[in-house]
Amino acid sequence: MTDTLVSLSLIALWSAIAIYTLAFIMFTLDFAKRSAWAQMAAAPAKVGSRASGPAGTTLTVDQVDTTGGQPPKFAFERIGFAVTVLGWLVHVGAVALRGFAQGYVPWSNMFEFSLTATAIIVGVFIAVQLWQNLRFLGAYITGFAIIALGLATVNFYVEVKPIPPALQSAWLVVHVFVAVLGTSFFALGAGLSLMQLLQNRRDAAKIRGMKFLQTLPTADVLENLAYRVIVVGFVFWTFTLMAGAIWAERSWGRYWGWDTKEVWTFIIWTIFAGYIHARATRGWRGSRSAWLAIIGFIAVLFNFTVVNLFFKGLHSYSGL
């Protein structure tokens, strides 16, 4: 029974990777189309929203100024998004099957964690569309999912094993789940910040290519969007840190001991606290805070990969 579930889960997983790849292609085609459109538009439409107020807080994401002519239909983007949703459903199926096979939440070793975490990241990406149209991050998110799933399955795969006593705790469920939620928002924030930096460079005429940027929100709008997703991520991360401390107290007898994983969770928290301060510090808005958001997300990825695999610590749960 378990074996059947496990192999079904793997089939679903590889299918999800294939579907995401299709979505990724659609999203890149969308960028190509957008570039072509921007090139053709004789008088390039003024991009983005009305000018920001003095505090730079206006947030309207009209993707293209519709007064400039026919609103283009970015069909590839919509197809890409629909395919992403399909891939995600299959992906969630893979997670659920693995969970049933395991008889426990499927995030107690590195393979399962990667499997579930990417599903949550893509899920958050899909869900935020209800709030704002951020589909232009589709290539970034699906690209990320393909790489993460591929690497994890090839390198971290482990058979279903019973949960060691150290991980049998409700805090595993809460702590890890919320950490992944936080990670998802940081991922979106880093994507938006990346776009923001590209927009800045385009505005400064440093890059010629990537004409599609003209069809995306302005750097200011991107910066504000990034801030809004990152503060949500920060709240989750703060909770993760606290839940981790509570679990550590239950499990190891102390709530904080500067174990390597604890250290990195703290470093990430501090970087994003710095990011939030940067946004309120003169001279640090704009590119500098965008870089902080990106560095913060790199630290998150580092914490999961390098720290888990190469640093010694109590969090030796990779299962490898």
250 makes contact with another protein (CB under 8 A): yes
Binder of residue 159, out of ligand HEM, another protein, none (CB less than 5 to 8 A by kind): another protein
Q: Is 163 or 276 the residue whose CB approaches ligand HEM more closely?
A: 276
Nearer to ligand HEM, 17 or 241 (CB): 241
Residues 293-312 that bind another protein (CB under 8 A): 307, 311-312
Contact (CB, 8 A) for 49 and 218: yes
Instruction: Give the chain's end-to-end CA distance (angstroms, integer).
Output: 24
Q: How many CB atoms are located within 10 Å of the residue 102 CB? A: 21
SS3 129: coil
Which residues within the stretch 36-65 sit at the binding site for another protein (CB under 8 A)?
53, 55, 57-60
Look-up of token digits 């299709």 = 22
Q: Which residues have a Cβ under 8 Å from the Cβ of 107 and sit 6 or more positions away?
A: 113, 116, 117, 172, 176, 177, 180
Report how far residue 186's alpha carbon sits from residue 292's, in angstroms, rounded to the nearest whole number: 11
| Interface with ligand HEM, residue 57, by CB under 6 A | no
Can you tell me the distance from the alpha carbon of 95 to that of 76, in angstroms, rounded to the nearest whole number? 28
Closest approach of ligand HEM to the CB of residue 277, in Å: 6
Which residue's CB is nearer to ligand HEM, number 183 or number 305?
Answer: 183
User: What number of other Cβ atoms are within 10 A of residue 275's Cβ?
Assistant: 27
1 forms part of the interface with another protein (CB under 8 A): no
By the rule CB under 8 A, 153 interacts with another protein: no
The DSSP secondary structure of 166-201, one letter per residue, reads GG-SHHHHHHHHHHHHHHHHHHHHHHHHHHHHHHHH
The site string for ligand HEM over 280-299 (x = CB under 6 A, - otherwise) reads: x-------------------
Q: Does 318 bind another protein (CB under 8 A)?
A: no
Give the SS3 label for residue 103.
coil
Question: Should residue 276 be labelled a site residue for ligand HEM when binding is judged by CB under 6 A?
Answer: yes
Cβ closer to ligand HEM: 96 or 235?
A: 235
Residue, CB closest to ligand HEM: 280
Q: Are 17 and 84 in contact (CB under 8 A)?
A: no
The amino acid at 179? A
55 contributes a contact to ligand HEM by CB under 6 A: no
Q: Residue numbers of the site for another protein (CB under 8 A)?
A: 2, 53, 55, 57-60, 159-166, 168-169, 171, 224, 227-228, 231, 234-235, 238-239, 242, 245-246, 249-260, 263-264, 266-267, 270-271, 273-274, 277-284, 292, 307, 311-314
